[in-house]
Amino acid sequence: MSTLLNDWRDRPTHRRVWGLAAPMILSNISVPLVALVDSAVIGHLPHAHQLGAVAVGASLYSFLASMMGFLRMGATGFAAQAAGRDDGAMLRRVLVQGLSLALLFSLLLWALALPFSHLALGLMQPSAALEQSTRDFFQVRLLGLPAALATYALVGWFLGTQNARAPLAILLVTNFTNIGLNLWLVIGLGWGVIGSAWASVLAEWLSVAIGLALTRPSLRAYPGHMAWAALKAWHSWKPMLVVNRDIFLRSLALQLVFFLVTVQGARLGDATVAANALLLNGLMITAYALDGLAHAVEALCGHAIGAGNRAQLRRSMTVACGWSLLASVAFAGVFLFGGHLFIAMQTDIPSVRETADTYLPYLAVLPLIAVASYLLDGLFIGATRAREMRNAMLLSVALMLPVAVLTTGLGNHGLWLSFLLFMALRAVTLGVVGWRLHQRDGWFT
């Protein structure tokens, strides 16, 4: 206990954590802010199916894009460890490999996207109006997919070099551009659901342009040369591909859970799927804010592992854990006492408001349950311990699914109870694996 207290009192660690976390929290919060603006703009159109179409279409797109989250996570871990070794050549290789994989996987997803959307909408059995609007929205959003994946790789690489200002610039400029375009295209030009999709596409391509422009000054801090010949050798790709494979499987399982929430909500009616989308916007705000601290953990812990500094690793985790717990309590209080205003801000459709208000207590509990999994994700990503992350996620899903089946009779209450259980299982499984690694000094092996 005295060691933890001493770690918590270490002011340089607090400065390092917040030096990375504060810019990332600001930039991360702008992401759910875009979703809130989307919901608020579309939610004040006359029909529930329009809000439902944006919710379902964005969920389908997010399912595809978020499966590629390994492009960010893998880049962060490898770049952080290379920075810890002052290996400028490896940093350049990680950047090129990340962007190359982003292009490759965007082409693959384009080939799979339309069959996937047909299958997903068939499972959801939505109303005819909701189905058509969702198809229109989703097909336009696909035009921004290569840019979104390239941005994942760029943001991950910047975080690995402990440069939080570049992701801040990328995300703030592009997301506020998205907001402005949403207001103009949806309300000003009257494009409706399609306008919301085009706003996102244009903003995603702007993010790539900004990110590429910012790589040059970042590379000056780490002298070295790009070894193009090394890219022809399999051994130079194998570590990243192995880690990315495991993070992909982990992300696929995670997105499957969110996708099933949307599918089951759609089966319960247009108002329910729209209400769940508004509540999940609250989860997004919590997740992106707490992820700011998790991103700091990724960079600092990866750097500490690359440098072989056990004390720095312990101090970084202690400080980030303390601030994450405080933040989760604050979010729980906001949703508990101000949740009704949060819902009212997003829509004025009476049926959606009434449905969302019923399930607000679940949203209030969610930050307290989810906080540990976000923080532990950061540690495992920084350590490039992707296999352990994959196994913990698959186990969590396997334990949750039977409960989800048994609680279908409870309707949307059963859906939310299953989701809360899943988030708790994520924290428990990662915690057990992390403790075992700590006991045998496995983080540095």
Domain map (residue ranges) of the chain: 2-444
DSSP tag of 444: G
Q: CA-CA distance, 34 to 341, in Å (whole number)?
A: 18
Q: Please write down the long-range contacts of 217-224, taking CB distance under 8 Å and 24 or more positions apart.
A: 218/158, 218/161, 218/163, 218/166, 219/88, 219/91, 219/92, 221/161, 222/83, 222/86, 222/87, 222/88, 222/91, 222/161, 223/88, 224/87, 224/88, 224/89, 224/90, 224/91, 224/92
Q: CA-CA distance, 277 to 262, in Å (whole number)?
A: 8
In terms of phi and psi (left: phi > 0; alpha: psi -120 to 50; beta: otherwise), the region of 190 is left
Amino acid identity, position 31: V
What is the predicted pLDDT for the residue at 52? Answer: 62
CB 154 within 8 A of CB 11: no
Q: CA-CA distance, 346 to 340, in Å (whole number)?
A: 10
CB 294 within 8 A of CB 17: no
Q: CA-CA distance, 12 to 309, in Å (whole number)?
A: 15
Residues of the chain with confidence (pLDDT) below 50:
none
Nearest CA to 266 out of 133, 363, 165, 139 is that of 133
CB 304 within 8 A of CB 55: no
Phi, psi of 129 (to 5 degrees): -65, -40
**What is the number of alpha carbons within 13 Å of residue 437 lying toward its C-beta?**
18
Question: Which residues contact residue 244 at a Cβ distance below 8 angstroms, ignoring those fewer than 6 apart?
Answer: 70, 71, 74, 101, 386
> CA–CA distance from 249 to each of 68, 70, 388, 394 (Å)?
10, 9, 11, 8
What is the predicted pLDDT for the residue at 37? Answer: 65
What is the predicted pLDDT for the residue at 432? Answer: 92
Phi, psi of 21 (to 5 degrees): -70, -40
